[in-house]
Structure 1
Amino acid sequence: MKIVLTNDDGIESPGLAALYESLSAVGDVTAVAPAVDMSATGRALSREVVVDEHEYGYAVRGTPSDCVVAALESLVPDADLVVSGCNRGGNLGMYVLGRSGTVSAAVESAFFDVPAISVSLALTSEDFESGETPKADYAEAAAVTRYLVAHTLDSGVFERADYLNVNAPRPGTGTGDLAVTRPTHGYEMRVERDGDHLRLHDEMWDRIDRGIVAGEPDDSDLRAVVEGSTSVSPLTAPHTTEHHEVLDTLAADY
């Protein structure tokens, strides 16, 4: 199995190293990842990038989506699977999916008809602010990813899902369970104003910090990670179009 490994935290990140070592046991892994941290870039794309050789594969001076395009069109064109991660911080909720560079790399792969798995480690604000997360903390996420890579390609999972979004619980809180989930709904952003400064705050971090799952359905990705399970959400990439008779009438009357 030929696996392209990418991320948005940069090719030198401990999370990528943890996945590289874990996945090398089940496939031929080539990293094609950003040379530096490109977090929260979504599907931003460059017109031209520079590629440098790296011990894991290739360091791309560009975005996660740049990396996937470069990999599947040039560097590893016969790849069977793209894995993106492991991200330092969770990627939970519908509204986060388009913002995350980690998830966006999986979406980019889906448009190439190459199955993909995005992987993140749900941390608290305190974890995130305390400094670098060591490679050992990604062990559970890496083990789950290796299991999914080894078992999903031939199982038929990707006949209905374009990619899987995986979120592992905070290190030390895991139950060892794997829960099939849906991204939580709702919008958790708020803004604090101080004169001419606006601070954008994602309250999802507060919910993880305080373990708030009130109102969350049993299959919520947030509920799963707060309760110690690893969440895996099977998702599709293309936007859907719904027939709308009122819009048909407005178009006809123009």
Structure 2
Amino acid sequence: MMKDEYSILLTNDDGIDAPGLATLRTELTALGNVTVVAPESNQSGVGRTRNPTAIVRDHPWGCALTGTPADCVAYGLRGLDTNIDIVVAGVNNGPNAGNYVVGRSGTVGAGIEAAFLGTPALAISAYHSTDFFISPPEEYDFARPARIARRLVDRALSAGVYDDVDLLNVNAPVDTANPPVMLTDPYHDYEQEVEQASADDVSDDVTLESNEHLVQLRDRTWPGVVGWESPFPPTDEHRRRYPVGTDRRALVDAAVSVSPLSVTHGSPDSAALATIVETVDVA
């Protein structure tokens, strides 16, 4: 797709007032018309959750929704009288790297919703190579990730990348002057901890019956991390843990990670399953 100007739908999961969205909107206007449809409040970590209803409020850039990023994309693509060439989500406050994190990200979830609705998408997230977490976001400059997103959008559309790819998930550092750009796969690394909660963990407004108990469910999103330390320091240990070509290794190396994703949920071939289906007795 080569055009003089593109029609871009911009959203995020940090809310319409987030500085990352404002910076990205300014950058994307160089490519054409940018319409913002973003959540009214922070919707981080909601994945591709959808709601049956949402309140739409006018905004100088477009509109704000009392819903999720996926709601915003659905409304932007099907509720507005505009032909959208691409959906861009971000710039997110913090990276979305690793297969599990990508699956639950509201930023990436917006791109997945767009892809299911037949529209190319790019999700852009920011990280700091030493601080790692972009918090508070007002103290960081999102210009570099926004500029990288704009260049990738322009080149991917012009080169026909979206003939084969549904969604690009991009993570870019805010503090590296000339970061290398790496083609990556989301790294498969996840564990869950389930523990019996103590009585002190039960809130005052909850009363447990005799046949009930409280459990704590903690996902080990960043293995080995305690508190708010960076999960991807540039150490030999982490370079051994995350091989070259993965999105998490790109973060260790303070690089830009570009992961092409498919949302088709393609079915793997299974001879064993085929045999079961052919021989199962349903009588």
Aligned with 1:228 (options 254, 259, 272): 254
- C-alpha displacement of 1:103: 0.3
Pairing 1:27-66 to 2, within 5 Å after superposition: 27-66=32-71
Residue 11 of structure 1: SS of its match in structure 2?
Answer: coil
Question: Is 1:161 aligned to residue 184 of structure 2?
Answer: no
Partner of 2:80: 75
Q: Which residue of 1 aligns with 2:178?
A: 175
1:204 is displaced (CA, Å) by 2.1
Distance change (3 Å), C-alpha of 1:208 and 1:140 = farther
The TM-score with structure 1 as length reference comes to 0.90
For residues 28 and 35 of structure 1, the distance between their equivalents in structure 2, rounded to whole angstroms, comes to 21
Residue 280 of structure 2 is matched in structure 1 by 253
Secondary structure, aligned partner of 1:87: strand
Question: Quick check: 1:8–1:85 contact (8 Å CA) kept in 2?
Answer: yes
Q: Which runs of 5+ in 2 are unaligned?
A: 1-5, 199-213
> Larger radius of gyration, structure 1 or 2?
2
Question: How much does 1:14 deviate?
Answer: 0.7
Aligned-pair identity (%): 38
> What is the aligned residue count?
252
Are 1:193 and 1:199, in contact at CA under 8 Å, matched by a contact in 2?
no
Distance 1:179 1:243, change over 3 A: closer
- Any idea what SS the aligned residue of 1:146 has? helix
Partner of 1:140: 144
Structure 1: distance between partners of 2:32 and 2:192: 39
Q: Distance in 2 between matches of 1:22 and 1:135?
A: 19
Correspondence for 1:18? 23
Q: Secondary structure at the match of 1:137?
A: coil
Corresponding residue for residue 218 of structure 2: 200
Report the CA distance shift for 1:76/1:156 in structure 2 as closer, same or farther (over 3 A): same
Number of the residue aligned with 1:213: 239
Cα distance in 2 between the residues matched to 1:155 and 1:10: 31
Unaligned runs of 5+ in 1: none
| Distance in 2 separating the partners of 1:192 and 1:27 | 51
* TM-score normalised to structure 2 length: 0.82
Give the conservation status (yes or no) of the 8 Å contact 2:194–2:215: no
Q: Residues 85 and 120 of structure 1 are in contact (CA less than 8 Å); yes or no, is this contact kept in structure 2?
A: yes
Answer yes or no: is the 8 Å Cα contact 2:250–2:257 preserved in 1.
yes
RMSD of the alignment, in Å? Answer: 2.3
